[in-house]
Amino acid sequence: MINRIRDIRLQKGLTLADVAAACLPPTTAQTIGRLETGTRNLSLAWMNRIAKALDIEPERLLRSESAVPAMVTAVLTENGADSPRTRREAILPSDLAADTPWMVMDVEQSSGEYRAGDQVWLRQSPPQEAPKLVNRDVLAPLPGGRFAFGRLIDGSRERLTLLPPTSGQPVIAVEHPQWLAVAEMLVRKL
């Protein structure tokens, strides 16, 4: 069975010991390494333990043998593009899913640093998380099925203050938001 434990672990910047310690109950780095390489059988119980430790859905650990995965081909460093030190699979954003689903905002018209054709991928958060998200771009619902989007410059549970991405626009106040979604990724076609 082909698994993606190593690729996902590396994408998240974790060591074998980090994953081993995050398992419930904790295990050893050697055991995680054996599961990664296939020298130890990846049972359903191990899949669930490791997926929980990596904060992903268990099915994300498996890869179809018929599908050709996208591979990391080059690494851009201060000296320019170079070959990666190790061969590894690129992990799609959807494969790094956490407990909350992705929300996506299409950009139809350029606004600030966002260009027409961009997609902004966001994760929903409860309003009480607003103080932690100051200086991040967020989307918040408004009455009547509309939304406000901009840089969160002041946030409390009762009121958010957003600075729109286009300069010269007035700040937006959102009273008693039901939720907010923080921008985590920008997808831009070249």
- Running along the chain, 190 residues long, what does each successive block of 10 average in pLDDT? 82 92 94 90 90 87 67 81 80 63 87 90 88 92 90 84 90 91 88
> 102-187 adopts what CATH topology?
Umud Fragment, subunit A (2.10.109)
Tokens, residue 10: 């590396």
Spell out the domain ranges in the chain: 5-90, 102-187
DSSP 116-131: TT-EEEEEEE-GGGGG
Q: Name the pTM for this structure.
A: 0.58
> 5-90 adopts what CATH topology?
434 Repressor (Amino-terminal Domain) (1.10.260)
How far apart (Å, rounded) are the C-alpha atoms in residues 37 and 62?
13
Instruction: Give the per-residue pLDDT at 125.
Output: 87
How far apart (Å, rounded) are the C-alpha atoms in residues 36 and 14?
13
How far apart (Å, rounded) are the C-alpha atoms in residues 4 and 19?
14
Tokens, residue 18: 């980090």
Strands (E), 13-93: 75-77, 80-82
The owner of tokens 């599908």 is 67
Tokens, residue 162: 């957003």
Domains 5-90 and 102-187 fall in the same CATH topology: no
- The reply to whether omega before 143 is within 30° of 0 (cis) is no
